[in-house]
Chains A and B, each alone.
Chain A
Amino acid sequence: MSLIQLFVSFFKIGVFTIGGGYAMIPLMEEELVERRRCLSRVEFLDLMALSQAMPGVFAVNMATSVGYRLKGVTGSVCAILGNILMPVCIILLLAMFFRHFRDNDIVSRIFMGIRPAVVALIAAPVFRLAKDAGLSWRTCWIPLLAALLIWALGVSPVWVIVATILIGVVWGKISERNNKDKQPEQTE
């Protein structure tokens, strides 16, 4: 994938991200994983976790990490610029010329149609991504618990991710030690 392609892809994603960063997930999945096939679903999930855990706007973090993964620092810059160029211009135009844009009847009708669609689009990748995340009957409580913590108890996703990282590190260390203890026995 060339730098120009990267810019164009993120430009497209930026233009159609309506309703915040999460609305970008289905668009990115379609563009980068399905169409261009430059990222696997697993990589996509990894970068998403990273972008969530760090401070800042999720969409821009995503552009940074995907750009970096594909084309290094230059790739990041291209992806970010592509992603925010159009939104910033649109906002500026609105601010300068159409201050009453949101009271417009046509606009509000279009948005009444778009909003439920955005929610459905965000829900759909859950099922596609679940398989690649290694979901099985034994592990399905993990995403369920995460979703419940955030949705029902109002825990910030950041804390959920930070806790996961900590648990992962501890768990990883323990299993590493167990493997070391076991290995000499196996070789004997």
Chain B
Amino acid sequence: MFLTLFLTFLKIGAFTFGGGYAMIALIQNEVVVNHAWLTAQEFTDILAISQMTPGPIGINTATYTGYTAVLNAGYSVPCAVVGAVLASLAVILVPVTLMLLVSRLLARYKDMPVVRMVLRLLRLVIVGVIASAALVLLTPDNFGSPDTNTRQFIISLALFVAVFVCSVWPKRQKDEAPQKGLLRRPGPITLLLLSGLLGLVLY
């Protein structure tokens, strides 16, 4: 069981291209369809919780799936914890090894003209990739829809604009020392905590 679990998640990690969401489809296919370790309903619940708790979705899903799979197979809770850790490590093993190799290559060859050209283009493309990540997330799931839950939609929109303005507007000059106290530009963590609090108060 543990060996199969490890190998399955090793495979999932190695073949995930394109981040956490791509991984979810692979995990589902292996764990629900191929091995039938959990039911589809259980997997949906796991997915929802993975998205709500901190951390990368791919890792969260792997941890939770590993835990539930071992538990469902009739093992005890400590065994399930081992399964969860095993699944989480297996899923990052291959990508991390590859990343280390590529990082080493990049450090060595980054001054070659061809590599510099590639990096110059990639930097521009990555800006677009991040923009698309934000665009993809503009969904009724995240914002509420204007017709069915107008209140949520308006609050979400206001929060979106407020957070966006707060994190773009007060540009810090390059040589300026970081400001102190209340005047400091609010960091992403402050903004997240504040908007969570607002959600709690307003809904």
Q: Which residues of A contact B (CB under 8 A)?
A: 12, 14-22, 24-27, 30, 34-35, 42, 45-46, 48-52, 54-61, 64-65, 68-69, 73, 76, 80, 83-84, 86-88, 90-92, 94-96, 101-102, 106-107, 109-130, 132-135, 139, 142-151, 156-158, 160-161, 164-165, 167-169, 171-173, 175-176
* CB closest residue in chain A, given B50: A91
A3 to B34, CA, bound (A): 41
Cα of A113 to Cα of B119 in the assembled complex, Å: 37
Q: How many residues of B contact A (CB 8 A)?
A: 106
Chain A residues near B118: list those with CB within 8 A. Answer: 164-165, 168-169, 172
Q: Contacts A118-B192, A120-B160 hold; do A24 and B124 have CB atoms under 8 A apart?
A: no
Interface residues of B in 151-190 (CB under 8 A from A): 152, 155-157, 159-164, 167-168, 172, 178, 187-189
Rounded to whole Å, the gap between the CB of B132 and the closest CB of chain A is 4
Q: Which of A60, A68, A172 contacts B59 (CB 8 A)?
A: A60
Give the CA-CA distance A59 to B132 in the complex, in Å. Answer: 17
- Given contacts A133-B124, A169-B114, is CB(A113)–CB(B196) below 8 Å? yes
B5 in contact (CB, < 8 A): no
Task: Give the distance in Å from the alpha carbon of A116 to the alpha carbon of B54 in the complex.
Answer: 16
Q: Which secondary structure dominates where chain B touches chain A? A: helix
Q: How far is the CB of B111 from chain A (nearest CB, A)?
A: 13
Chain B 34-48, CB-CB to A under 8 Å as 1, else 0, gives 000000000001001
Q: Are A120 and B125 in contact (CB under 8 A)?
A: no
Cβ of B16 and Cβ of A57 under 8 Å apart? Answer: yes
Least CB distance from A117 to B in Å reads: 4
Do B195 and A116 touch (CB < 8 A)?
Answer: yes
> Across the interface, do B56 and A21 meet the contact criterion of CB distance under 8 Å?
yes
Contact residues in A for B74 (Cβ distance below 8 Å): none
| Smallest CB separation, A42 vs chain B (Å) | 7
Cβ of B127 under 8 Å from chain A: yes
Asked if residues B85 and A121 are in contact (CB atoms below 8 Å), the reply is no
Among A57, A86, A109, the residue within 8 A (CB) of B203 is A109
